[in-house]
Structure 1
């Protein structure tokens, strides 16, 4: 029995975040709805970021830096091709945000076609 696509997608998100951000989220869950993949990530912040968010300026800095960094990561062709190979369809758009207080990030991948679940 093979892994399901949601799990494989979540592991790819973790791998990419670790490679480009330096740490990956502690928990990830991904759901596919039509041509969307929605990944919810908990436990994203580093110890330095947790210290920084104790001030309003720190919260703004961490939120802005994390949000911009994630969007830049997913513009890289070598990153996109990994998701496209896994799902069998092209990434056309990405939305990402981070709730600093709850340490929860959401990324919505929009694909050209509906993502077909792999049969176990």
Structure 2
């Protein structure tokens, strides 16, 4: 991996952390970002706040946090286009695909852009 791509991935991770901290109140403790074609795959851990962790002790609470951390976060990214991410990668943001494992406090998010951002010419669309 080139040093410039590695730096770009780290900068993208920093944007994710800042965006989530600003919009949700807490950013992830750890983020690993990988660019693949027109996707940015982000594996995050340490995402839940202490209050969210407490709420997940009940089934109703788990369902509420799962909804907030998947459906609501996707809505947030569609309403507030992450222009700073678009500027960083030089491509238009299309959508976010995300899932959370509440027991492990891990999130995997795929940021989909309109064109390849990893230097490849081919595009795998979804």
TM-score with structure 1 setting the length: 0.89
Q: Distance in 2 between matches of 1:62 and 1:13?
A: 19
Q: Structure 2 stretches of 5 or more lacking a match?
A: 120-126
Q: CA deviation at 1:82?
A: 1.1
Give the structure 2 partner of residue 56 of structure 1.
59
Q: Distance in 1 between matches of 2:79 and 2:19?
A: 11
1:21-55: per-residue Cα shift (whole Å, max 9, x none)? Answer: 00100000100011110011100111111111111
Q: Superposition pairs for residues 26-41 of structure 1, below 5 Å?
A: 26-41=29-44
TM-score with structure 2 setting the length: 0.85
Give the structure 1 partner of residue 21 of structure 2.
18
Q: Structure 1 stretches of 5 or more lacking a match?
A: none
Name the SS for the 2:82 alignment partner. Answer: helix
Give the structure 1 partner of residue 123 of structure 2.
none
Q: Distance in 2 between matches of 1:29 and 1:39?
A: 6
Name the SS for the 1:102 alignment partner. Answer: coil
Give the structure 2 partner of residue 111 of structure 1.
113
Equivalenced residues, count: 116
Q: Distance in 2 between matches of 1:116 and 1:99?
A: 27
